[in-house]
Structure 1
Amino acid sequence: MAQKIKIEKPKVSENLPKANFQDIFDQEEPFLHTCIIANCTIDRVDIDKLDFTQVVFQNVSFSEVSFRNIELTDVVFEHCDLSNCDLMRASIHRVEFINSKLLGVNLTESHIGNVLFQNCNLNLSSFGYGSLKQVRFEESSLINADFYECRFNKIKFERCDLDEVNFTRTPLKGTDISTSTFQALSVGLEDLPGCEVSPQQAIGFAALLGLKIKE
């Protein structure tokens, strides 16, 4: 039986005051706390060690943005576009990405915990060398996503497209991919034990071992 993975939801207050992203440039340290930012474009911004806490982003497009070492705590992204954003070495805790586009997003070397990706485009995204704990991907596309040498703990891919995903050197014990689809994966046989798969997927992995399945 597949394990249930409990994800802590963001602790976000109701009736948040509206804010302008430009407000962060009026502060000594770049941060946004307890606010909502909606219906705008954040364009060509490069900030290191940015801090977002209890923030909701709605219909926000991030264009040519680099937020390396960003800290996201209790944050919600709804209908946002973070394509090609550089979020390398991010710390992400109790965050939801809902109906959002993260095509080619760079999350390498990031620490990601209690995070939900729901109905998102994560094609060509990079999570390499990251640590992911209690993360659920729901009905999302991760074609050609890269999870090279990651540390997984309680990860579930629910009804996702995992075609050509790279799991090389990432142990998949306790990872549930049983409801997802793919034509091919990059994964080492030594990393497969304990991975939760469907019977059909098991046949495919058996073929990787050189086994001949008789019908």
Structure 2
Amino acid sequence: MATKKEKSFLEAPRIPELLDPLTIEDYEIQDKQAFENSRIANGKLADQSADKVSFDRVVFENVFFERIALERAEFTDVVFNRCDLSNVNFRDSILHRVQFNNCKLLGFDLSNSTMRNVRFDQCNGQYSVYRFTDMKQVGFFHSNFDKADYYEASLAKIEFVETGIDQAQFTGARLAGIDLSSCEFLSIGVTLEGLHGCIIGPDQVRGFAHLLGVVIKE
């Protein structure tokens, strides 16, 4: 598959050169707690639940999240490098200028969230959830998001580049203007109305034949 040129509409996180090292394992995270100008590296954050926590200009490096629920959190200018956020609950959160690089995101839940200038690069996001999420200027690059759930999500200026989306659920979402031509999938869940205006490659037409009620003859 030919490599597709990536667009540059995403704003990168604004991270200061100097960040204070922070061992977050020492904290019992409280509701409305704020973390700023910090680098959190090589640790494990487990069995934490809090509401309206904010992270501003924070870098997570090689952090393992286990049984974490931070609902209605705010992430501004945040980078996750080589982190495991599988089954983490960030529902109803706000993400602005956030990057996930080489992260494990199996079952990661961002339902009902607001995402602006968010980039996923070389991530495993299978079964991750973005139901009813407001997504604008979000990019998925060289990743695997098979079986991810975008049910009723609002999608604007979304980029999928060489990313697996097989059996991803887009029912209730509109894919107009979204280019899936470099993605790998046999089928995705989408309505005919939602597919209108989507850009696909000629070898992907078969995956949508059922929407038209036709059979493609070999």
Superposition TM-score, scaled by structure 2 size: 0.91
1:145 and 2:148 are equivalent in the alignment: yes
Q: Secondary structure at the match of 1:166?
A: coil
- Higher deviation after alignment, 90-99 or 194-203: 194-203
Q: Secondary structure at the match of 1:208?
A: helix
Q: Which amino acid aligns with 1:95?
A: V
Deviation at 1:16, TM superposition (A): 1.3
Deviation at 1:164, TM superposition (A): 0.7
Please give the alpha-carbon distance, in whole angstroms, between the structure 1 residues aligned to 2:27 and 2:129.
27
* 1:168 corresponds to which of 166, 171, 174: 171
Map of 2:70 onto structure 1: 67
What does 1:104-119 align with in structure 2 at a 5 Å threshold?
Answer: 104-119=107-122
Unaligned runs of 5+ in 1: none
- Higher deviation after alignment, 197-206 or 171-180: 197-206
User: Is contact 1:24-1:31 (8 Å) kept?
Assistant: no
Q: Which amino acid aligns with 2:149?
A: D
Please give the alpha-carbon distance, in whole angstroms, between the structure 2 residues aligned to 1:26 and 1:168.
36
User: Is contact 1:5-1:156 (8 Å) kept?
Assistant: no
- Higher deviation after alignment, 123-132 or 16-25: 16-25
RMSD of aligned alpha carbons: 2.2
What does 1:127-138 align with in structure 2 at a 5 Å threshold?
Answer: 127-138=130-141
Aligned length: 215
Please give the alpha-carbon distance, in whole angstroms, between the structure 1 residues aligned to 2:179 and 2:104.
23
- Higher deviation after alignment, 67-76 or 168-177: 168-177
User: Is contact 2:32-2:51 (8 Å) kept?
Assistant: no
* 2:97 corresponds to which of 89, 94, 99: 94
Q: Which amino acid aligns with 2:162?
A: R
Q: Deviations over 1:170-207 (max 9, x none)?
A: 01112121100111111000111111111212354345
Q: Deviations over 1:61-118 (max 9, x none)?
A: 1110000001000000000000000100010000000000111011100001101000
Map of 1:53 onto structure 2: 56
Q: Deviations over 1:17-71 (max 9, x none)?
A: 2112256659884110011000000010001000000000000011100000010
Superposition TM-score, scaled by structure 1 size: 0.93
Q: Secondary structure at the match of 1:105?
A: coil
Q: Taking structure 1 as reference, are residues 153 and 28 closer, same or farther at Cα in structure 2, changes over 3 Å only?
A: closer
Q: Secondary structure at the match of 1:201?
A: helix
Q: Taking structure 1 as reference, are residues 132 and 28 closer, same or farther at Cα in structure 2, changes over 3 Å only?
A: closer
Unaligned runs of 5+ in 2: none
Q: Which amino acid aligns with 1:143?
A: D
Map of 2:18 onto structure 1: 15
Please give the alpha-carbon distance, in whole angstroms, between the structure 1 residues aligned to 2:139 and 2:127.
18
Q: Taking structure 1 as reference, are residues 157 and 62 closer, same or farther at Cα in structure 2, changes over 3 Å only?
A: same
Q: Which amino acid aligns with 2:133?
A: G
Deviation at 1:10, TM superposition (A): 0.1
Please give the alpha-carbon distance, in whole angstroms, between the structure 2 residues aligned to 1:160 and 1:27.
36
Q: Secondary structure at the match of 2:21?
A: coil
